[in-house]
Amino acid sequence: MTIQHNKVLQKPETFYDTFVRKGDSELKATHYCPGCGHGILHKLIAEAISDFGIQDKTVLVSPVGCSVFAYYYFDTGNIQSAHGRAPAVGTGYKRANPDSILISYQGDGDLAAIGANEIIQAANRGEAMTVFFINNAIYGMTGGQMAPTTLVGQKTTTTPYGRNSHNEGFPIRMSEIIATLEAPVYVERCMLTDAKNIAKTRKAVRKALKAQIDHKGFSFVEVLSGCPTGWKMTPQEAKNWIDSVLSKYFLPGVFKDVIEERESIVIKQEIPSPEDYHKLMDISHLSEKEDIVPTPEKGNFYEELKIAGFGGQGLLSLGYVIANVAMGHQYEVSWLPSYGPEMRGGTANCSVKISNKRIGAPLVANPTTLIVMNKPSLEKFENDVVSGGTIIYDSGLIDTPPSRDDVRVIGLPATEMADKLGSTKAANMIIMGIFAYLKKQIFSDRYIRWVLPRILKNKAFHEINQKAFQTGFDYADKHV
């Protein structure tokens, strides 16, 4: 006997097989209340993702609200963003990965209240993403408070006598607002009630995703959904309430559909080539180019620097120079400054990472090399240095040397030495000379000398920077 069924409707493959959120008690069920609309919309989205074959390139941004745990269900890429920020986070992701499919899944508290600006700006820019806006006219997860979409007269825990328009204003119709903008290509409102409307929603979900797959631009689907728990109704009553009350204010329908008229826009990613970089650094027309520009080094190299001191000591610049020098040697680098609002005075530090592999996060927690130019910074970062690492400090400004005995400690009165050269501002370049000496196997000092004026472009300092670098290099040669 052969199997006679010709089509099976079952859990889409885009869902995980088991949902770890619920723990061992039930690994197959969601955390949503009985009759919740989230599950239905999840299923429609998951089915569309599976049918379009885009699971491997889809990233879903989950909001704050009950659906925050969408990443436990969708076997796609997932990002959890701060409240209301999904379109902003999504913009960053999509711009960096134009071939991906970006879905922003947001509730009415998330999208229409705290995230109202993000969604309008993203829609206005026509970001190539699909937004599913699930509107249940209430803050469901936090216990049924009034949302921007709560109907006038609707009782919630924060409007126990019903929403009063004189006091709390009127419900916001987001679809209508989005549809007035020029950039969006598709805006529809549908509802999760009976089979007919769920089928309409299914069609809208697929159309919105298809628009993104075809690179048409911003698509927005608002879905009126029941919150039986928040509304204090049975799932059937909730369904009927959407039908008879909610959908009379939030009218379902297509508010904008220009998918056909719009052309596909594929943003080409501009990646600078090494030649571009050399051009930028003014290297191209140098006769000794071949000689000066280092050839890429093979093998592992990893260095994490924390450079700290007072603002104005040139420490951010020092980090910037080190990062640029490493970049010139074809390493991956990151430079992350951290400073107060004042330009001089106060404390400042920067994190520099250098690696032959791609760098994930730019923050340095445990430096391999610590450069400190004042006492508070030494006290703050000394214990963070990895065992076997290096601490370089200004012994003229810091009277108590580092107490660690498992790291290499180099102290020199850099600021005093720079003062003798003519400017205390060159102290950072003396330290640069020390660092260059320590890493002379990795970085060509000839290249550093040559590239310095091309990084620190102020002509008034070209000469003293070179002198200070040489002083630091010679000092290290003698004393280290």
The contact set with other proteins (CB under 8 A) reads 1-12, 15, 25-26, 28-30, 32-40, 42-44, 46, 73, 194-195, 198-199, 202, 228, 235-236, 239
Token pair of 318 as six digits = 């020092």
* Closer of 18 and 164 to other proteins (Cβ): 18
Minimum distance of other proteins from residue 192's CB (angstroms)? 9
Task: For residue 87, give the nearest of 66, 114, 65 by alpha carbon.
Answer: 114
Q: DSSP characters for 62-105?
A: E-SSGGGGGGGTB-SEEEE-STT-HHHHHHHHHHH-TTSEEEEE
Minimum distance of other proteins from residue 246's CB (angstroms)? 17
* Closer of 10 and 458 to other proteins (Cβ): 10
CA distance 471 to 457: 20
Minimum distance of other proteins from residue 14's CB (angstroms)? 9
* Closer of 40 and 179 to other proteins (Cβ): 40
Bridge partners, 371 (sequence order): 307, 392
DSSP letter at 163? B
Those residues with Cβ within 8 angstroms of residue 294's Cβ, 6 or more apart along the chain or in another chain: 328, 329, 330, 443, 444, 447
Kindly compute the dihedral angle of the four CA atoms of residues 279, 283, 288, 294, in this order, to the nearest 10 degrees.
-100
Minimum distance of other proteins from residue 201's CB (angstroms)? 9
Q: DSSP characters for 424-464?
A: GGGHHHHHHHHHHHHTTTTS-HHHHHHHHHHHS--GGGHHH
Minimum distance of other proteins from residue 148's CB (angstroms)? 24
Minimum distance of other proteins from residue 196's CB (angstroms)? 10
Token pair of 64 as six digits = 């704050």
* Closer of 5 and 166 to other proteins (Cβ): 5
* Closer of 25 and 387 to other proteins (Cβ): 25
- The answer to whether the CB of 388 falls within 8 A of the CB of 406 is yes
* Closer of 28 and 279 to other proteins (Cβ): 28
* Closer of 26 and 477 to other proteins (Cβ): 26
Task: For residue 194, give the nearest of 168, 224, 214, 173 by alpha carbon.
Answer: 224
Minimum distance of other proteins from residue 142's CB (angstroms)? 20
